[in-house]
Amino acid sequence: MEIEVNAFLRKLETDPAYSESTQLAYANDLRVFLLFVKSHNSRPARITDLNNEQITKFLESERQQGRSRNTLVRRLATLKYFQDYLVQERILEAEYFSASDNEILSIISKIPERDSSACLNREQIQSLLLIMSSSPRPRALRDQAIFMILLETGLSVGQLTDLDMTDLDLNAKRFHVSLDSAGDVWLGLGEAHEVIEEYVREGRLNLLHKPGEPALFISQMDGRLSRQGIWQILKFWGQQVNPTVELSPRIVRHTAVLRMKKAGLPIREIQMRLGHRNHLSTQALIRRLEANCDKEE
């Protein structure tokens, strides 16, 4: 199955409809499945392993390892999409498994559904900014700049870590970014401008140990800050406020969506920033957020 998986991933790379982050998610899900089959059966995975019994065992193993409901749903969707590809390429004559199989669905239903629409309210945002701005940690100014630009623009973590110093135009209060759905664009820094400017003027210099480093956001260990680094940064500050906040890129992004909508940003503009292929997906997300979060704002 390894050969077919690689061919499938190569096909995704040539399709502009699939962002780099989506491709990485598909690749990870399929690699995890291949490793499970190899470990469980003491042999490499085969195409015939794409059956209800094997996938049920795989998802149950993932559930027992503490994977979230969303992760299991995504794993299943990836396998289904991979199977569709195999049928289209006539590698499979027909589908080997059904994503609506009762046993498969029962495993997913055992995991409590988390509220994926959670977002920050005004008090939580103020508490986070206050504790960051008053912290003596050298990295605090950087972290505040990261939090503010995510909150202002709704960018993905990958787009944030890709930013270079040359992407920044502080005089015009804007920055250059490559969006999956719109290519190269300039976005306004908005309320993030002041703290970004302070970070570049002072905070970044305190962290910089390697002259010539192009990355805008750098780690304390030198070099470009990683996506995992952003996750850890947000998690850390969420634990510092009282009461604590389960701070994650998703929650900040959802909060940004609501803020952009309330600021009067057109749906098409929000769609572009989020990288949604269809504006209806953006509208559905906004409706869900307004229903679950608006009362907390």
Instruction: Please tell me whether residue 86 adopts helix, strand or coil conformation.
Output: helix
Task: Please state, as a whole number, how many other Cβ atoms lie within 10 Å of the Cβ of residue 26.
Answer: 21
Architecture of domain 2-109: Orthogonal Bundle (1.10)
How far apart are the C-alpha atoms of 116 and 119, rounded to whole Å? 9
Residue 96 structure tokens: 């080997």
| CB 195, CB 203: distance < 8 Å | no
Please name every residue paired with 176 in a beta bridge, in sequence order, or none if there are none.
186
What local confidence, expressed as pLDDT, does residue 95 receive? 83
Q: Residues near 206 by Cβ (< 8 Å), separated by ≥ 6?
A: 138, 141
Taking the CA atoms of 256, 257, 261 and 264 in sequence, report the sign of the dihedral they define: positive
Q: Which helix (H) or strand (E) is 168 found in, with range?
A: strand 168-169
* CA nearest neighbour of 144 among 74, 72, 193: 193
Q: Residues near 70 by Cβ (< 8 Å), separated by ≥ 6?
A: 114, 116
284-to-1, 148, 155, 229, 238 alpha-carbon distances in Å: 37, 25, 18, 30, 27
pTM above threshold 0.75: no
Taking the CA atoms of 255, 258, 263 and 265 in sequence, report the sign of the dihedral they define: positive
| CB 155, CB 202: distance < 8 Å | no
Structural domain spans, the chain:
2-109, 122-296
How far apart are the C-alpha atoms of 144 and 199, rounded to whole Å? 9
Architecture of domain 122-296: Orthogonal Bundle (1.10)
Q: Residues near 216 by Cβ (< 8 Å), separated by ≥ 6?
A: 163, 164, 165, 167, 168, 200, 204
DSSP string, 193-243: HHHHHHIIIIIHHHH--STT--BSSB-TTSSBPPHHHHHHHHHHHHHHSSS
Peptide bond just before 243 cis, omega within 30 deg? yes
pLDDT, block means (10 residues), the chain with 297 residues:
90 77 84 93 91 91 85 86 90 82 84 68 90 88 95 90 93 87 81 93 86 89 87 92 87 93 90 83 87 59
